[in-house]
Amino acid sequence: MTITKKHLKELADIVYMAQSQAQEKIDQELATHLLTQEIKSFAKRHAKHFDESRWSDYLHKKKKAEDKPEPYKQYRLIGKKGESSIARGNTWAESEIK
């Protein structure tokens, strides 16, 4: 697939929307969710073999690869049912004890 000016313009619109939301100080989770939905929608329209489960797996692996424990913070290595922990496969950030 060739990326055309139309594709680049559409991506620029998505980025502009994300920047506008950041400037308006919209709830971070909501802004992230909206941006993710826009990007997935773009991929579905322009990539014939877009697979949402592969997308999610890839993002999870990427997030986990970047995730590292930080000094002077406490993390839950094992936990009760429903608690995030390293043993359950959660990231360091998700397993932080706050």
pLDDT (tens digit, 9 = 90+) per residue, 51-78?
A: 888 888 887 788 777 888 999 999 999 9
Segments in the chain forming alpha helices (H): 5-23, 28-46, 52-66
**Quick check: 25 pLDDT over 70?**
no
Residue 28 above 80 pLDDT?
no
Mean pLDDT across the stretch 21-44? 79
Give the DSSP H or E segment for 21.
Answer: helix 5-23
Q: What are the extents of the domains in the chain?
A: 5-50
Spacing of C-alpha 8 from chain mean position? 21
Q: Is the pTM of this model over 0.95?
A: no
